[in-house]
Amino acid sequence: MKKLYLLLAIILIFSGGFIAGSFFSMKNSSSIPKTISLNPPSSKELEQKAAPKLEQIASKLLIGYVQDFRDPSVVNYSQLTHVIFSFAHPTKDGRLLFNGDTALNNLRAMVTKAHQNKTKAILAIGGWFHINGGESYDYFKSAIASPDARTKLVNELMNLVATENLDGIDIDFEHPRSKKDAEDLNAFTQELSSKLHPQGKELSIAVHSKIHSVTGTELGFVVYEPTMFQYVDHVNIMAYDGQWDGGYNAANLSPYPFTENIVNYWTALFDRHNLSKEKLVLGVPFYAQPEDPNSKQVSYEALINNNPDNAGRDSVSLNGTTYHYNGEKTIQRKTKLALDHGFGGMMMWEVGLDAKDAYSLTAAISEEMKEIK
């Protein structure tokens, strides 16, 4: 990830009357920019659009990340097969930290609500930013570099799975940057898998898209050991944040051609290593990226509350800049693209940024999945 990601680490206040609220505490672009915005005053009343009847797609995954500061009651768990709480933070010696009692209480509330809706509740470890400041990379790297720290981290996670009634763990190491990093991540994944799977628990991993959004070529600064993927149930591809490639360009956030290249890359990789493509889960962004780098990201919900017609667009001009995002049709095209390639489902960063009811992108994905079945 690039240094510009540090811009997203602070609490963001969006001025000018569009959004009154704060932004976040982001598998990067992999986990993804973690951005939240409160709803702005609407410039157009939402029309009465019939809300689609939503049902879980038993054979397909619909995975939503949710940030640790978010009120768990805002998530529509009935739409999701899995909800992933983000994040627990590793220390260099293999311990785990939460962002205070509020985060831990939110985790517990999320687990309860998820299970009431027969949705699996997962805890993500890592993310882009660390609770102690800066990137998580150095902390995570150290935690899995030695056998002792690695085993300690696995044991800490297993204790949490038991005490908090979790259905599994999601690994979000952003990002392995060397062969040694990849080997250590492989060892950590294998060890954690050996503990989780005998108990009927799941293990997923968030991964960088590995594709340059401008050139369409493979990026070499993130390194994975492909055999590692045999130990996980789901591989959540962070197919967004392409705006950082080749100089800042918000239009490269997550356009459809970029996603096509990502899907083709991961399909070929899994075919080459004889891995099941059903493990692959395509990630999509529920936020909008501004062309003005001094402006802040905004949620999809904010765009809809400003004007419901924005659901049919992928860019919009607001408050003196243009925002790029994925509207309903693009999200549905991506869903079809992923499922047509044999992927197991879709992932969203993050569900707290989604619009409500009939304008929900989660609902749009669910509807597209039912059409493809």
Q: What is the pLDDT of residues 150-160, one digit of tens each?
A: 999 999 999 99
DSSP state of 214: T
Residue 300 forms part of a structural domain: no
Q: What is the pLDDT of residue 26?
A: 37
| pLDDT of 372 | 83
* Residue 228 placed within a domain: yes
Nearest residue to 7 (alpha-carbon basis) of 28, 38, 33: 33
- Between CA 289 and CA 278 the distance in angstroms is 30
203 belongs to a structural domain:
yes
Domain that holds residue 257: 25-33+53-287+327-372
What pairs with residue 120 in β-bridges? 82
- Is residue 99 situated within a structural domain? yes
- As a whole number of angstroms, the distance between CA 8 and CA 289 comes to 11
Max Cα-Cα span within the chain: 58
Task: State pLDDT tens for residues 220-242.
Answer: 999 999 999 999 999 999 999 99
For residue 27, what pLDDT is reported?
A: 37
Show the tokens assigned to 150: 């690695």
Q: Name the residue among 22, 85, 29, 74 with its Cα closest to residue 213.
A: 29
Q: Is residue 97 part of a domain?
A: yes
Q: Identify the CA nearest to 285 among candidates 346, 240, 249.
A: 240
Quote the pLDDT of residue 31: 36
11 in any annotated domain: no
Is 213 contained in some domain?
yes
Q: Which amino acid is at 204?
A: S
Q: What's the pLDDT score for residue 371?
A: 87
* pLDDT score of 373: 67
CA distance linking residue 216 with residue 124, whole number of Å: 29
Residue 139 maps to which CATH number? 3.20.20.80
Low-confidence ranges of the chain (pLDDT < 70): 1-58, 373
User: Does some domain include residue 320?
Assistant: no
Domain count of the chain?
A: 1
Residue 145 CA from chain centroid, whole number? 25
Phi and psi angles of residue 237, each rounded to the nearest 5 degrees, phi first: -85, 120
